[in-house]
Amino acid sequence: NAGVTQTPKFQVLKTGQSMTLQCAQDMNHNSMYWYRQDPGMGLRLIYYSASEGTTDKGEVPNGYNVSRLNKREFSLRLESAAPSQTSVYFCASSVTQGNQPQHFGDGTRLSIL
């Protein structure tokens, strides 16, 4: 019953460093998402993949890139980390895009110094 697995759980970077956050789901879901959660704000969508082979920008895509590696895996890359990207990042998946519940991983806590 792993569900959505995110790695790493914690990471500290220096400004300008790059990093890839990994996400994998074992529920055979078609759609996957990346969110960030900041204090006092709701979850905000960074990128999503409605199905394998497709990716689209969400509300706050600047500074990020994504790759849908296969049906199970969806990665988020920070090419040149900035302090404003300090946040908790959540990956989620759903059966399809649309009015289906999304299931979340436990997040990656990322600090940019």
Using CA atoms, how far residue 9 sits from 5, 6, 43, in Å, is: 10, 7, 18
Q: Least distance in Å: CB of 79 to another protein?
A: 25
7's enclosing H/E stretch is strand 4-7
Shortest Å distance, C-beta 31 to another protein: 10
Picking from 66, 112, 105, the residue whose alpha carbon sits closest to that of residue 89 is: 105
- Regarding 47 and contact with another protein (CB under 8 A), the answer is no
Candidates 50, 52, 36; CA nearest to 85 is 36
Question: Which of 1, 28, 41, 53 contacts another protein by CB under 8 A?
Answer: 41
Stretch that binds another protein, among 11-19, 43-51, 65-73, 79-87 (CB under 8 A): 43-51
C-alpha distance from residue 65 to each of 41, 79, 101, 107 (Å): 22, 8, 24, 18
Q: Does 71 bind another protein (CB under 8 A)?
A: no
Contact flag: residue 81 with another protein (CB under 8 A): no
Verify binding: residue 69, another protein, rule CB under 8 A: no
* Min separation Cβ 54 and another protein, Å: 13
